[in-house]
Amino acid sequence: MTVALERRLANFRSAHATVQRSAPYPAAGRVAAGAERLAAELDGELVRTTAGSFVRVERRGAVIEIDRERLARLPGQPPPHVPLVCLDTETTGLATAAGTLAFLVGLGWWEGSRFRQVQLLLPDHADEPAFLAELRTHIPRESWLVTYNGRGFDWPLLVARYRMAQADAPEHAGHLDLLPLVRRLFRHRMTDARLQTAETQLLGLRRHDDVAGWEIPARYLQFLRDGEPASLLGVVRHNDEDVRSLARLLAHVDDRLADPGARRLAPAGDLAGLARAYSAEHRFHEALECLDSAMVAVRSADAPPAPPARPGGSEQATGVARSRPEPHLVREESDAWWSPRNRPDFGGRFGRPGADAAWRATSIERLDASWTATRITTERARVLRRLGRVEEAELAWLEIADFGGILGALAWVEIAKIREHRRGDLEAALAATLAAVRSVERRRATGRVDQRLERDLGRRASRLRRRIGRRQLARRAAPALIVPSPLPEAIAAAG
């Protein structure tokens, strides 16, 4: 057995020795020449190091002004003194596993009011150590990253690549992902969450001759095969615009929402989304201010316009009903990018039965619902309750309860909570609960059954009745207090 193993090992060594290790990979020469041509086409430089090569392209800076002090007052924004590094990657796939490679990284940072940009390109897989080492030099330890979906994709992918290279990822002080910010503030008037959509619908910009995202991996693989830089030129332009759009979006948020004066002119949905961001940080006073401005905006938009003078008579005389467009109420598609399967951020603990589940089932609570006056009033009532202004919160809920239906029933439940837990008025809380029960019973009579809400209301009414009964029993069982009259003592003192 030992002789057989030795023979097999000798055969393996003999076959392994015949491999010409010094012979280059057939495509290596083409890729090296392609990297030089790519650097020349992009007016960049091919940097050669002992760890490998990479192409570095420095773009001419653009003036994008941001008031960092003012921006830092918004929720979730970085401190005003830390440097910001905008980062965007182009990759060979949409996964963050070991098989996906980031072959292009675009970076941008501010020097005063000027926004500077640089791009790093990977000519071949073997050059990745040099590519990652250069990327590290552009991310200071005290800086914040600014990305678009970077928390979920770009940065985890780069961390995986550093681990594959047996190195630590660059340290940084924080990470500002603009995708959740755009979703929270502007989803009510956007068709999807893509960065190009935000450019068009928020910034008023439109790209021409842009490369679609699904084409980018194939273009890089084509470059590796033939070394021709033409397939990557459009990808580099695409990445350059992506990085610049990160800075433009941040400037847009600063101009429209960080400035208190300009904020009052913002759409009602933007202000309501900003109020939710403030509420998430327990900054309820700022949230209430935004909701008050949103109420003014939505009521102004809902005010009927003055009818124009018509020679043939009024519009009512013609019998034609005209529908007025409502630009602030953009109804999103049911299969929009914010899936209803995601957890809503409307308050209450997710997954609880009863009224909280019923809130999530209403159209006002759906993630694709419009920011109507009713929905803003609902949000305002919740903020008032958290501020301890229970009287105002109850009045807001009473206004919503007048609508009736499932929404009115849920408003009565909130009123019952305030009366029971904040005011200690059990009888008034029971009356509000019974009003909610009547609303649900009317819905049942029309064939719309809310079983979970009905069970919750039944338990609430039973508990309130038991508490009221125990209180009345305690009052009857309490001994009467006998207060001695001061009259006999006064008569004795006088005599």
Within a domain: residue 86? yes
pLDDT at 229 over 80: yes
Query: 78: helix, coil or strand?
Result: coil
- For residue 449, name the pLDDT band (cuts at 50, 70, 90): confident
Q: What share of the chain is helix, strand, coil (3-state, %, to 5)?
A: 55, 10, 35
- Is the residue at 303 inside a domain? no
In a domain, 414, yes or no: yes
Find the distance separating the first CA and the last CA of the chain, reported in whole Å.
133
Q: Which residues contact 342 (CB under 8 A, 6 or more apart)?
A: 367
* pLDDT at residue number 424: 92
Mean pLDDT in residue range 62-66: 94
pTM of the entire structure? 0.76
When pLDDT is cut at 50, 70 and 90, the band that residue 312 belongs to is: very low
Residue 58 is assigned to a structural domain of this protein? yes
What's the mean pLDDT in 478-489? 58
Total number of domains constituting the chain: 2
User: What digits encode the pLDDT tens for the residues 328-342?
Assistant: 333 333 334 334 444
Q: According to the model, what pLDDT value does residue 477 have? A: 82
Residue with the larger pLDDT of the pair 181 and 359: 181
CA distances from 376 to 161, 266, 283 (A): 45, 15, 17
Indicate whether 253 and 394 sit together in one domain. no
pLDDT digits (tens, 9 = 90+) for 206-228: 998 899 988 999 999 999 888 88
Q: Which amino acid is at 155?
A: W
Strand order of the β-sheet with 114-121 is 45-49, 52-63, 114-121, 102-111, 84-91, 144-147, 174-177
Is residue 491 pLDDT above 90, yes or no?
no
- The pLDDT, as a whole number, for residue 444 is 87
User: How far apart (Å, rounded) are the C-alpha atoms in residues 131 and 137?
Assistant: 10
Region of residue 149 (phi > 0: left; psi between -120 and 50: alpha; otherwise: beta): left
pLDDT higher than threshold 90 for residue 476: no
The residue that leads in pLDDT, 95 or 40, is 40
**281 part of a folded domain:** no
Domain that holds residue 160: 29-258
Burial class for 426, CB neighbours closer than 10 Å (0-12, 13-18, 19+): buried
Cβ burial, residue 25 (10 Å; 0-12/13-18/19+):
exposed
Token look-up 């008034």 returns 428
123/223 Cα distance (integer angstroms): 9
The pLDDT value recorded for residue 302 is 62
Residue 243 lies in a domain: yes
The residue-averaged pLDDT of 27-44 equals 79
- Bridge pairing between strands 52-63 and 114-121: antiparallel
Q: What is the pLDDT of residues 264-278, one digit of tens each?
A: 889 999 999 999 999
Domain termination site, one of 258, 282, 314: 258
Of 213, 228, 258, which residue sits at a domain end? 258
Whether 338 is covered by a domain: the verdict is: no
Is the per-residue pLDDT at 96 higher than 80?
A: no
85 domain residue, yes or no = yes
- What is the token pair recorded at 177? 């992902």
Q: Do residues 412 and 436 lie in contact, with contact meaning Cβ atoms separated by under 8 Å?
A: yes
CATH number of the domain that 57 lies in?
3.30.420.10
pLDDT at position 59: 84
| Tens digit of each residue's pLDDT (9 = 90 or more) over 105-152 | 999 999 999 999 999 999 999 999 999 999 999 999 999 999 999 999
Coil vs helix vs strand at 228: coil
